[in-house]
Structure 1
Amino acid sequence: MTIKLKDKLFTEEEIIKCLATCESVISKNAYLEKKWENCYYHFFDVSSSELYKEKRLEWMEYRKKLRSLLLNEYSMKEIIKMTKACKDKYTQKMVMSVIDLMS
């Protein structure tokens, strides 16, 4: 199965690699958010974990958009299973370029 975004074609394997990257970024930022939740910036009285939360939520939106490309062919359960089984990942820059093509 190939997916056309603007003038570029992507295979489902490429989308799965993008999803694997999203999962990695989401997990890392969730960990850092939890780790720094009690650390506050003195000047702004804001938790430093907020930065990680914002990034985590942003990447969760990217994951949602990428999953929507595969929902016509696969169930959500199958997409999650394929993502977990994926050992290769793309760079965050590559994921961002795919997301940009979707806009």
Structure 2
Amino acid sequence: MPIYYTVTERPNPLKPTEPAKFYATAKALKKTEFDEIAKSIAKGSTTVSEADVRAVLVELADQIAGRIAGGETVHLGNLGYFRATLKSRGAETAKEVTSASIEDVRV
């Protein structure tokens, strides 16, 4: 399976005087929605209805979100790892970093 990417130029924030380097950045060709996944799973199964698939996927999402909110990393086998990552403002000292420094939380 190929991976689609674009080339992005990025400076090194730790060494701003050095020339920027180029990096491969993942590129999505399409966004697949929840409904499409549920229908596809149900279509591939002879015993599970689309409603059952939806119910399980909704509960799975709730379980993942709840466990991440509780400080856990969730490992779902071949599906991968799910964990919180933070974007925060930099500070001059460690003592200056507080929860107010956090700008965004992502999974």
Q: Tell me, yes or no, whether TM beats 0.5.
A: no
- Which fold has the larger relative contact order, with Cα–Cα distance below 8 Å and residues 6 or more apart in sequence? 1
What TM-score does the superposition give when structure 2 sets the normalisation length? 0.28
Structure with the higher fraction of residues in strand conformation: 2
Structure with the higher fraction of residues in helix conformation: 1
What TM-score does the superposition give when structure 1 sets the normalisation length? 0.29
Structure with larger Rg: 2
